[in-house]
């Protein structure tokens, strides 16, 4: 099974692909979809749609796991991220790929052992599972947190699927 994990965002969306085969896990690819903050929101959504479509064509994932929107203090950001997430979900649905949604606490618990784990704890767990090669490119500006979060979402789906048969389909 090839799982595409998504950490949704408007400016930066992280993605990570993990292949699970008979209990063996392989981090296949990870990276970012970035949009120009100067563009109007609609143009940014077109870019996100195009890039997500490209990921689907390139990797042909069996399933997608996406992080649920966490609403804290900035409603404007939460709304635009939710809109970007909607664009992505539409793209996956159009390609007949099932989408599963996971809360941040569930992802942290499944990957790092605790629902209040920090980003560094998630990255440490990923490196322990996949090896030290799970990191950002050297000497390149990176939002590796977003890529690592996306890998964690994909891993969460694999672990939850083994335990419970998956979470709610979007």
Domain annotation covers residue 170: no
Domain annotation covers residue 140: yes
In this predicted structure, what is the pLDDT of residue 42? 95
Domain annotation covers residue 9: yes
Residue 21, domain extent: 2-164
Overall number of domains in the chain: 1
pLDDT of residue 113 exceeding 90, the answer is no
Domain annotation covers residue 127: yes
* C-alpha–C-alpha distance, residues 108 and 114, integer Å: 6
Q: What angle do CA 35, 38, 42 make, to 5 degrees?
A: 65
Whether 146 and 32 have beta carbons less than 8 Å apart is answered as yes
Q: Which two tokens stand for residue 46?
A: 């077109």
Q: CATH number for the domain including 152? A: 3.30.420.10
Whether 32 and 163 have beta carbons less than 8 Å apart is answered as no
In this predicted structure, what is the pLDDT of residue 70? 72
Whether 92 and 146 have beta carbons less than 8 Å apart is answered as no
Domain annotation covers residue 169: no
Per-residue confidence band for 135, with pLDDT thresholds at 50, 70 and 90:
low
Whether 155 and 129 have beta carbons less than 8 Å apart is answered as yes
In this predicted structure, what is the pLDDT of residue 143? 60
pTM recorded for the entire structure: 0.88
Supply the residues annotated as catalytic.
7, 67, 146
């Amino acid at each position: 099974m090839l799982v595409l994990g998504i950490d949704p965002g408007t400016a930066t969306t992280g993605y990570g692909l993990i292949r699970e085969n008979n209990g063996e896990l392989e981090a296949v690819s990870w990276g970012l979809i970035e949009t120009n903050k100067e563009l109007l929101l609609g143009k940014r959504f077109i870019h996100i749609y195009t890039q997500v479509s490209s990921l689907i064509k390139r990797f042909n994932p069996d399933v997608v796991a996406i992080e649920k929107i966490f609403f804290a203090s900035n409603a404007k950001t939460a709304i635009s991220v939710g809109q970007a997430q909607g664009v992505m979900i539409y793209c996956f649905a159009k390609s007949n790929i099932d989408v599963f949604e996971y809360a941040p606490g569930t992802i942290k618990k499944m990957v790092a052992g605790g629902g209040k784990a920090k980003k560094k704890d998630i990255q440490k767990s990923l490196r322990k599972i996949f090896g030290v090669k799970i990191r950002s490119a050297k000497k390149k500006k990176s939002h590796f947190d977003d890529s690592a979060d996306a890998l964690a979402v994909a891993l969460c789906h694999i672990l939850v699927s083994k335990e419970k048969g998956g979470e709610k389909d979007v």
